[in-house]
Structure formats: C-alpha cells, structure tokens
Amino acid sequence: MAAKEKEKEKKEGGEDLAAPESIFVNRELSWLAFNLRVLQEAADPAVPLLERLKFLMIYQSNLAEFYRVRIGIMTHRAILTPDKADPLSGMLPEATIAEVLRVTREQQALMESIWKSIREELRANGADVLDFKKISKVDELMSKKLFGDIRDLLDPRIIDINQALPFLWSGETYIIAFLGRGTEQKLCILPLNRVPAYLSFEIDGCQKIVLTAPLVRHFLPLLLKKENVLQSAIVEVTRNADVFLSDVQDHADDDLRQKVSTMLTKRKREMPVRVRIYGKLTDPARALLLKKLRVPESRVFTQNVPFDLSFRSCIGGPAGLRYEERRPARDIGLKKGEYFSYIEKHDLLMSFPFQSMMPFVDLIYEAADDPEVLSIKITLYRMSGSSKIAAALAYAADKGKDVLCLLELRARFDEQNNIDYSEMLEDAGCRVIYGLPEHKVHSKLCVITRQHGGNLSRITQVGTGNYNEVTGEQYTDLSLITAREEAGLDAEAAFAALVNGEIPPEAHCLWIAPLSFKPRLMELLDREIARGEKGRVAIKANALNNVEVMEKLIECSQAGVKVELFIRGICSLRPGVPGMTENITVSSVVGRWLEHSRIYSFGEGEDQRLFIGSGDMLNRNLERRVEAFMEAVTPDTREQLNRVLDALRNDREKSRRMLPDGSYVRDEGGEGTSSQEALYRYFSARKVSAAEPEAEPQPVSVPQKAETPAPAEKPRGFRAWLRSVIS
C-alpha cells in the first residue's frame, strides 16, 4: 500500500492496528473511533456550518458520557480486578485507561483545529464569538454591561489556600481563582450554575456572542474588588456515573423509586474521572488544584474549545448555514378510527424520523375510545419531557382501560424523568411496574387486547427505538405493528412474566431476550453457514462485541457466506482478515440523524428472514436485558426493510468502511448517495389507505398458548397533569 494511502487510513481511524495480534478490537478504543467519525463530520466542508458546530457539540457530549460511564467502569475494574484482562484485546484495565487518555488527547488536537476553523467562519457570517484575549474597546464596554446584568447572580466562595476545596458537582462549570498579596494566599470558587451559558448583543449588523464563563473570568476583579486576582481558570469535573442499585440497597427501603433516587444522589458525589481546564494556570497552582481534587495529571485536559457550545441555537443567518428542513411526514393516510381495521388486514411498518410518530399516538387514543379494548400493555424506557404517549396512556386509563406501564427506572441518566412519570401515570390510574432485579427491560413492546363477543384479539407493536417524540425526530428507528395472533400471545406471555418479576419465557413468534434472542440469532447464522457460498447475512445494529456471535460470524465467513455488517458505533470484529473474515464487510454511517434502527436479515429472495427489534449484539443486550424482536412477514414490510439495507449498501457519502487493521475510510466521490436522504425521499412519500384491499393471509407458526388477561380494574382520575399535556 502506498505511504499516502496508509497515512489517510491512520488519520481516519485513530488507533494504529496494523498487523494485529488479535482479530478483535478493544471495545473502548472502538467507541473512540466512532466518536472520531462524529468529530470528522464537524470538519466536513460539505456539512453546513451550524451543523458542523452541532457535531462538535455532540462529540463533546458523547465524550463526557463515555468518561462518566465506561471510564468509570474501567476505573472500578482497575481497583477491584487489576489483573483481569479484556477478553477481546488482552488489555488490562490500567492499560486500557492509558490508551483511552492517549487517543483522547490525539483527538483533542483535531477538535481544537476544527473549533478554530468554525469560529473564523462564524465571524465571516456575522456571528462573532468574543475572545477576551483580543477584544475591542466597544465589545469590552458592551460585555461589561452584560456582566453587570448577571453580577447579582454570582456567589463566589473564598477559602484559605490550606482549606479543603468545596465539592464541585459533575458537569457543572466553575471559575477557580488564586488570590493573594505577599505570602497570604486564598482560593475563590465561583459556580456558574445560576447564570445562562451565553449572552449576546448586536453591533453594526454583527451578532456578538458572549460566553458567560470567559465573561465572568475576564471581569472577576470587578466582582472581587477587595482581592488581588493572581490567576484564574474555568474548570469542569466529570465524575464516575458507574453506580448501581446494589450499591445502595442496604441503605434504602423496599421502594424501588426511593432506591433509585438514593443512587442518583450517590452518583453526583462519585470520584472524578476527568477534569477539563479552560485557561492557563502556573504549574504550582495547577498542581495544588489537582491535589485538592485528588485527580492525577493524566486525567486532566486543558482545552481552548468552550465546554458549552449551546449558543448555536441563538445564531440566525442564511438558510445555507443549516441543513435543508426535513420534517417527518405527518400523515400516513390513516385517521383515528381507521387503524384497527387496517392493521387487522395489513402489517404496518413506520420509519422515523422520515415519518411521524403521531400515528402510534393516535392508535393509543383509538384504543382508549374503543369499547372493545380491554387492556394496553407497554414497556417504557426513555420518554420526552412532555410525552404525548404518556398522555395517551393516561387518557386510556381514565376511559376505563387496564393500562399496564413497565417503566425501567434504571435507564441511565433518565432515572429521574422515569421516576416522575411513574408517579404521574400511577396518579392517572395506570398500573406501573419497574422491571426485573437482574435485567433491565430495554424492549420497545406494546400489546393492545380487544374482545369481540367471546373472542380475544391483539395488536402488537415492536420498535427499535424509544416511545419518545423528541428522539423520534432525531434518530432513525423502525416500528412494526401487526394483528398476528401468535405475536400477541408471545407479547402477553412476556408481560405476564414481567408482572410476576420473572424473565419472559421462550417465545415462538417474537424473539424475547435473554432466552430467545441469542439462540434464534445463532440458529439462523447456522442456517446460512449450511448454505455455504449461497448464504447471505446483513445486520444493521449500533454495536457488536459479543465473542460468541463474532465467532459465529467468523464461521460464516469461512464457509463462504457473504456477511454485511452496518454497525454505527462499537464494532469489535475486524473484517477482511484472510482466512478469518475475508467475506465480512463492516461499514458505519454517521450523518444528519443518529442511526439507531436494528435490522437482522438472513438469506435472500423467498427464503429471506427479516427481523427488527430493540437489541444490539453487545453482551448486555444478549444476556442481561429484556429485548423484543419481530419478524417482517408481509411483502410490503419486507420490501421496505430491504430498501433500508439497499440504501446503506449504496451509501458512499456518509458511510465509512472498516479496514482489516480496524481503521475506517470514506470512499471518494460519494456525493448524492447519502442513505438517509434516499430513505427520507422514500418513506416520506409513502402512504397507506384504509380502503386498500385485504392482504393475503400469511403462514404462521403454532404459538404457545398464553393465559387470558385479567379483567381491567377501574382506574382513578388522571388529574390536572393529563389535562395540561393534552391541551
């Protein structure tokens, strides 16, 4: 390979993995390679300027969560099991952390360069982010006035240099200043949680954006008039979020909501895993600060990129600074009152964000108003701040339906939101349960049960993403709805087990993890292995690191099976390795929307089996979570899923290929091939009609008989909360 090509691959991938000893890639380093692909979108001149700024925001946000969770976990492992190596890469915990820190610093250099470029382009487009190192007199006068406006909101705390540092909350921004005269030294700690992240004013048609942290730091002598400010910096601490319920169960009562609340309090006070500093401190001052924070120098990052880039939302300018508007299609051709009659004859597939999530909300309202509906059961993992789906469920409970909501209170960083919703839904008359002690319920599963005379029928929905209208416009996800009775029976059996605090039983039509997902996946991979060179596997998922699955995929490749993996994030399997994975390709799409849907395809033509569901090929999804998958069996739904896979195959604009050494490259000349744009055009134009002819019956498997659901209980009223949300 030419030296120029090798250099290009190294720049794209980050980790130098030439001549690998293992065919597997360390999970943490694979994730960093994904976040690098996000950062590279911020550097792409083909991406509109403000969208590049957004990718820079996403990169920083992703990295903060990565340190809170994954480096938090690795830090615990380094303390508790320091000699236990990663089974994929053979790296010990401390070695993994050291390599993560090295790669992060390497990426920071690119981040700094991108920010400098974006800042210059913003200035050229009439949006000047003020730099207090070189500020004009006019800008300084206006900034001083803004400082006066927020001065009363600032609450500095001054301590002796030998005192312990006040607690710094994770993710919050502080100004830390060293004060003194002669030998007397003091520290000032100034939290900025009470002031906005940015302010702005306009001069001669130019928008001046004033970031509050640098503003306060610049005018700190005006706030501390009696003190001599020697030096100062902007500081943010990232704390370990790897806190589990088992850590707090001995200190809480039997109420799970209280246990989770206790866990959230404990999480806020965990040990630091990273410190970011904006501004230069002398070596002695820096060393003293880190000693007080009890953080080693290796965990500290000094950067010139602002911690908070949310000022993006206040910038106007021409339309070309943003993506062309792409609103979800609001109407699939059905109206409230038509969903049941349509779904009884046709399976319905919806694709977000190209289509709106509101048809599913309408389906819940239709169920609420249908006198034949007995119950609605649903699993809820993450919901929006003002959830229309929660309002529809509460409305159904008020209309006398038995509404069972399983809220997973351990959805990381959404715990408090789910605690609040559990209380609201209970107040509305819903039955609320909280999942299983050892398994998170991550499935996106809903079943609506109706009674026609003496017969029961069910409508079942399985999704790849959360019941969340906000992320429904930001993530690519799929939702499949069917009236197939065997799917409904499997769903009912799953809910019956969850109500009793049990793992859902082996399913027949659906795949329900942990008992049904991995075995069915392995069986279908074995089916393709038996077909040899005629075998075909195509999987779209967010992550892959399970050793057994990867070993089975290696078997597929060695048998001549063509394996296509469309993995957005972590992929711990190297493709194209001679004798091992030469028949496997891996690609990753990072674009306007977050790729989040999961599709599992086995075979081709009439023998093709196609599934969608909530789980990736990570250890946690296969073994420690409750996930739900459904097969697409009708010609229409199968055709739509194959459209998604074809669009991914043809993407040369936003897709990057993984090379045998683990690095990623983007093919040249791919303009106009974006899979997301192609799928937007396809799905946003799709319509269905209540008057469509009846679908041909599909062959079904023989389901295991599930218990008849219990009769609905009369719920309480849903209070002012529901009325306010509906209004």
For 438-470, give one letter per residue: b (16+ CB within 10 A) or e: ebbbbbbbbbbbbbeeeebebbbbbbbbbbbbe
State the Cα angle at 492 between 487 and 498, rounded to 5°: 130
The tokens for 284 are 């002695």
**Number of other CB atoms surrounding residue 422 within 10 Å:** 21
79 sits in which H/E element: helix 72-80
**What are the angstrom distances between the C-alpha of 562 and each of 169, 300, 354, 565, 610?**
50, 45, 30, 10, 16
Instruction: Classify the C-alpha dihedral 78-81-82-84 as positive or negative.
Output: negative
C-alpha distances out from residue 684 to 2, 333, 352, 680, Å = 44, 12, 10, 6
Residue spans of beta strands (DSSP E) within 143-251: 157-160, 173-181, 184-191, 198-203, 206-211, 229-239
Question: Could you tell me if 59 and 113 are in contact, meaning their C-beta atoms sit under 8 angstroms apart?
Answer: no
Q: Is 452 a catalytic residue?
A: no
DSSP string, 623-649: HSEE-EEEEE-SHHHHHHHHHHHHHHH
Tell me, what DSSP letter sits at residue 23?
S
Closest CA to 359 of 602, 690, 666: 690
Q: At what angle do helices 719-726 and 415-428 cross, to 10 degrees?
A: 110
Query: What is the distance between the alpha carbons of residues 215 and 232, in angstroms, rounded to a whole number?
Result: 12
Q: Considering only CA atoms, give the Rg of the chain.
A: 27
Give the CA angle between residues 380, 382, 385 to the nearest 5°: 115
Structure tokens at 505: 């039983």
Active-site position among 218, 346, 442, 596: 442
Phi-psi region of 19 (alpha: psi -120 to 50; beta: other; left: phi over 0): left
424: left (phi over 0), alpha (psi -120 to 50) or beta: alpha
How many of the other CB atoms lie within 10 Å of CB of 259? 21
User: How many CA atoms within 13 Å lie on the side-chain side of 96?
Assistant: 30
What is the token pair recorded at 108? 């920071």
Q: What residues are annotated to the active site?
A: 442
